[in-house]
Amino acid sequence: MMAYDPEELQKRGLIFTGRHLPYNPNLVDRAKDLRKNQTDAERIIWVTLLKKLHFRVLRQHPIDNFIVDFYCPAIKLVIEIDGEQHETHDGLEYDSHRDSVLHSYGLTVLHVKNLDVLERFDNVRRIVLDTVGQSDDMA
């Protein structure tokens, strides 16, 4: 685990226990709500793929001042399911900033389009399995 400056984290409103990446505690309740109200694409990829991986995957997990869609701590991978709002100028700028912060924690960020999950799931499945280095022998 990387060393973090406690004063800097506190200034940014983040908690770091040494067990998890720094996170904003004000996002915990929102993350719980998002887990209960997944989008169709999030539900599909979770039920048919991510919860069956050989690695633990967390849903709607706070990291820093963000809530990532899926996070696999064992391999430091974030998977984001991007809807149309991510294709706007503001969405692209926000994603770029968020990805930069997540990369600073040593994380890899994989963006998957919402529409691809819904319409081209076999392609998404192959990309995710290739990314995590897992064969397609899952039930």
Q: Over range 66-84, report the average pLDDT.
A: 94
Residue 30: give its domain's CATH number: 3.40.960.10
Q: Is residue 57 part of a domain?
A: yes
- pLDDT surpasses 80 at 139: no
* Number of domains within the chain: 1
Is the pTM higher than 0.85? The answer reads: yes
Tokens matching residue 1: 């685990």
The answer to whether 81 and 73 have CB atoms below 8 angstroms apart is no
Q: Please name the residue that has the structure tokens 């209960």.
A: 36
- 44 found inside a domain: yes
Is it the case that residue 13 has pLDDT exceeding 80? yes
Residue 50, in any domain of the structure? yes
Count H helices and E strands in the chain, helices first.
Answer: 6, 4
Query: Domain limits at 46?
Result: 20-128
Q: Tens of pLDDT along 22-43? A: 999 999 999 999 999 999 999 9
Is 7 within a domain? no
